[in-house]
Structure 1
Amino acid sequence: MAPRGSLHFKRISTTLTVFLVLLNILNTGRCEEQVPLILWTSEGMALPSQSPPTVGHIIGQQQLASYLEKALNMGPRNVVLFLQDKMSIEDFTLYGGAFGNKQDSVFPNLEGALMSSSSALMLPAVSWPASNAVIGQLQDQLVTSPLYMDPETLSQLRLNSSSPALLVFRLPYSTGADLISAKEILSNNDEVIAQVLNIMKTQSVPYTAIYTALWPSREAASLLIEAGLGGRRVLLQARGGNKERDRERQHRIKEKARIYSPVVFKEGENTCIVLWSKSLSVSILRSGRWEDHDLTPATFGEGVSPKLHGSSCDKTKAKLALNYENVLGHRNFKLIFTMSQRHYKVSSRRWFTLNTVELEYDGTKATFNGSQTIYAPVEYSYRCESVTSFRWPLLVPRSSKDPANQWRVSFENFQIQGFNVTGSEFSYASDCAGFFSPGIWMGLMTSLLMVLVLTYGLHMIMQLHTMDRFDDPKGPAISVPQTE
């Protein structure tokens, strides 16, 4: 008999393991696009009940925002977010003692927290774009900026139940094939969860805890399972189920491959600047630690309209200003890209350069210079897989005394165009990676070495001469005088 639902609000009277086994049955072969999300409150606080969706439903961004909004409207607004790098339902079934070996479970503290909570929200299938945007959704609903912390810094922080707080604890995950290593890491993450919850309990502040991840951890394995068992599952389904399964699969593929629209700035009816990036993030150095903030959810995505006041463009200069609020403790924050174009006689063509990337906050401006490394023909757009100021930097502080030395910026899959934009689409991209990459050079040098060795061998073979005299076994032996 199939389980009756994959999402429910109720008092947890059974163990977490049994619940997760049921979730795994519902999501076999589909976890490559989903991550679980578990939400619970401190003792004595209850969550409002909500009707569960249909079995197998995948939670998207809008529906996740609706669930979080209802939970935070009635529950505590001090949110503790445990954000793991990767996680899938299989992590609980593999390491959670799902088959009776409770002594082998690596989640005793998490299970204890759920057992002691008066109510909990469990979402076994959240699309990874939605889980990536959970910080931005919580930030919008709480109207506060996230604080990236660890248990040591939390013990020094004094929380107030009357003012909301968003505390983010990043948890690692093993990306290798070593199962023992992954088990140890998950066990350590469970200990971190226990430390944080104990500190929150000592402060006597009600809280809402969330445990989720950015990406699924079982993508490759689940793809193999689906590829190997797909045909068998088709035979077991009823007539008409194939079409429904195909529609679900197409929907999941489109959701996974969905790319949000770029930021577009228009001057009148004409598009001037187009910007896209998979990830925009900034970091500031405080008390010897780097505090990170992800600007992506407030810049890109469905229904997101970033504020662009302060932007401008003309035939020779372009300026794109992205305006944010409550970024790393700064109420007003701007990320500004300034570009210019000019004619170069050496190449007999016009080029545009990304002159500076500026961070403007509370009357202070931090400036990174990019004109020496970020440029492209004016008819093209500029694209680079990674544009950072700290790891193989393409952006450098303008001077040694500039406030930019206390900041880091990081853009992944970055693409920008400030001139000759047609419609709202990028022109042909000029990539920052040259044609002759290190791998290509290594291949060329290896091939050249092999050609030289082959040439030398052929030359030595050609120097061999056939003997001009041969010994006849039936005749007398050949006598070769020593004088010859």
Structure 2
Amino acid sequence: MALTGGLRLCSISAVYAILLGLLIISGSGTCDEQVPLILWTAEGIPIPSQSPPAAGHIVGQQQLASYLEKALNVGPRNVVLFLQDKMSIEDFTMYGGAFGNKQDSVFPNLEEALMSSSSPLVLPAVAWPASNVVIGQLQDQLETSPLYMDPETLSQLRLNASSPALLVFRLPYGIGADLMSAKEVLSGNDGVIGQVLSIMKTQSVPYTAIYTALQPSREAASLSVESDLGGGRSLLQTRGGYRERGRQREKQRRIEEEKTGIDSPVEFKEGENVCILFWAKRLVVGILRNGQWEDHDLTPSTFGKGVKPELHGSICDKTKSKLVLNYASVLGHSSFKLIFAMSQRHYKVSARRWFTLDAVELEYDGTKATFNGSRNIYAPAEYSYRCESVTSFRWPLLVPRSSKDPANQWKVSFEDLQIQGFNVTGREFSYASDCAGFFSPGNLDGSDDQSAHGPGTYLWPAHDHAAPYHGPLR
């Protein structure tokens, strides 16, 4: 039996229609390797309906790209992507108020959005490796970079109906006795969806909305709590209780690290107070010699039980922070330093303070190699910054300071990096701003003066009447 486009929302509730389709699909084939994907358009914006796949069919990466391309070719190109850490069919069947129990549903805002949309698309089974590249697919089709956001920031921005935008809202998913129940988290996520859609409605800008996940939650249920907490690093700030849940999950992550022996972050103290926190799953540097790259893994010398890296030269105050990791015998250099230079300041257009990772420096035997990072690596001053991959190659976020800088002979790679150089409270990271490629502040007004606008100004705040910039990212 196949699901047909349209879902006949006039005679049956949207969530019930979703559940019916999901239940049909779940009867054929395993469901712990797939995630659902739901796509709809703003109220009153019609697009040609697309027929979902036949029962039991798993949508792969290429077919998903085709669905997205068809929707965006004729539909609104302002895209709101709700990207949950984990989600599976069972989340809808267990918590969607199935079979008439509407009062028990945790998806009232999603249901309302689907009922008001003329042509929603429900894909019950998308191979989760394909869902992991959905941001890249949307970025390619829209020819614009993703902007990771929260409802508060969205309310300050003014969208342009004639220019594409990709707005990404990361949503958590918690399981385990010591965390919030899945039902509570899903209900909170639906509340965030409602906030975002309400703000979009006030802007009167047509949009396409997508709700999907990075991993299946059913598979995640068999993993340890520690593994789930790793996803907590990517929480973004939102209103009220959602922000507090982010803090709670970060605290819980720290507790689990201590219980399970996961490496703790590097801490630099000014007096008795921690003012810089740094963590990464893996740190690798490499140098080009005789046409060959020679790599060195700094991770064992930085993290681990009993490991205390030398932080001589590190500093921090209200506007500048510098974390200096000192090593010995790295790639033939007797003295080697890995330096993270950060600053924070107030930016006029965004009307808030931001911190930037200005540079990553390699200092060795009297020579310094400098990679600039401020154009790509930044977050609101009260956040930490987190990214799954920060490198100087392959979609680089770090670039050599100049064509003659020694950095051109080096490469750096940081896996699952999280850093905070300001507003550290206790020994815990603040909620994290996940990485994304934003337009450089200088490009926004044709200058290189970052103080004029500052990070995060790809879309202009509502009180600014300048037109948004839509040039290439790099």
In structure 2, do the counterparts of structure 1 residues 372 and 166 end up closer, same or farther at CA, with 3 Å as the change threshold?
Answer: farther
Q: How far has the Cα of 1:352 moved from its partner?
A: 3.0
TM-score by structure 2 length? 0.50
Q: Is the 8 A contact 1:11 1:119 kept in 2?
A: no
* Pair 1:375–1:171, CA change in 2 (3 A): farther
- Alignment match, 1:118: 118
Deviation at 1:397, TM superposition (A): 3.8
Distance 1:74 1:370 in 2: 55
Match of 2:303 in 1: none
Q: Distance in 2 between matches of 1:203 and 1:373?
A: 57
Instruction: State the Cα RMSD in Å.
Output: 4.4
Aligned identity (percent) is 64
2:50–2:121 Cα contact (<8 Å) kept: no
Q: How many angstroms apart in 1 are the aligned matches of 2:87 and 2:215? A: 7
List per-residue Cα deviations over 1:251-292 (Å, max 9, x = no partner): xxxxxxxxxxxxxxxxxxxxxxxxxxxxxxx9xxxxxxxxxx
Instruction: Tell me: CA distance 1:126–1:155, structure 2 relative to 1, closer, same or farther (3 Å).
Output: same
Residues 55 and 355 of structure 1: is their aligned pair in 2 closer, same or farther, counting only changes over 3 Å?
closer
Deviations, residues 22-44 of structure 1 (Å, cap 9, x unaligned): 31232246111100000000111
| Residue number in structure 2 paired with 1:108 | 108
For the pair shown, the structure with the greater C-alpha radius of gyration is: 1
Shift of 1:181: 1.7
Deviation at 1:93, TM superposition (A): 1.1
SS in 2 for 1:31: coil
Q: Is the 8 A contact 1:369 1:397 kept in 2?
A: no
1:201 aligns with 2:201: yes
| 1:221 positional shift | 6.3
Q: Which residue of 2 aligns with 1:171?
A: 171
The answer to whether the 8 Å contact 1:109/1:190 transfers is: yes
Find the residue that maps to 1:17 and give its secondary structure: helix
Q: Tell me which residue corresponds to 1:287.
A: none
User: Residues 190 and 37 (structure 1 numbering): CA distance in 2 closer, same or farther, change over 3 Å?
Assistant: same
| AA aligned opposite 2:287 | M
Asked if 2 retains the 8 angstrom alpha-carbon contact of 1:36 and 1:87, the reply is yes
Aligned residues: 274
Matching of residue 5 in structure 1 with residue 32 in structure 2? no
Contact between 1:339 and 1:355, CA under 8 Å: does it hold in 2?
no
Retained in 1: the 8 A contact 2:82–2:168? yes
- 1:339 and 2:287 matched: yes
User: Against the structure 1 CA distance between its residues 374 and 42, is the aligned structure 2 distance closer, same or farther, given a 3 Å change threshold?
Assistant: farther
SS of the equivalent of 2:32 reads helix
Q: Tell me the distance in 2 between the aligned counterparts of 1:373 and 1:145.
A: 40
Change in Cα spacing, 1:174 to 1:355, as seen in structure 2 (3 Å) is closer
Q: Could you give the per-residue CA deviations for residues 322-375 of structure 1, whole angstroms, max 9, x where no partner exists?
A: xxxxxxxxxxxxxx9752459xxxxxxx9933599xxxxxxxxxxx99986976
CA distance in 1 between partners of 2:143 and 2:167 (Å): 13
Query: How far apart, in 2, do the equivalents of 1:68 and 1:388 lie?
Result: 42
Q: Say whether 1:352 aligns with 2:294.
A: yes
State the SS of the aligned residue for 1:83: strand
Shift, 1:118, TM fit: 1.1
Q: Is the 8 A contact 2:107 2:190 kept in 1?
A: yes
1:141 corresponds to which residue? Answer: 141
Aligned to 2:23: 24
Amino acid at match of 1:140: D
In 2, distance between residues paired with 1:177 and 1:219? Answer: 17
Contact 1:41 1:120 in 2 (8 A): yes
Map of 2:151 onto structure 1: 151
SS in 1 for 2:45: coil
List per-residue Cα deviations over 1:28-66 (Å, max 9, x = no partner). 461111000000001111121334433211000110000
| Contact 2:6–2:118 under 8 Å retained in 1 | no
Kindly provide the CA deviation profile for residues 143-167 of structure 1, in whole angstroms up to 9, marking residues without a partner as x.
0000000110001100010000000
Q: Does structure 2 conserve the Cα–Cα contact (< 8 Å) formed by 1:17 and 1:92?
A: no
Alpha carbons of 1:205 and 1:411: their partners in 2 closer, same or farther (altered >3 Å)?
Answer: closer
In structure 2, what residue type is equivalent to 1:8?
G
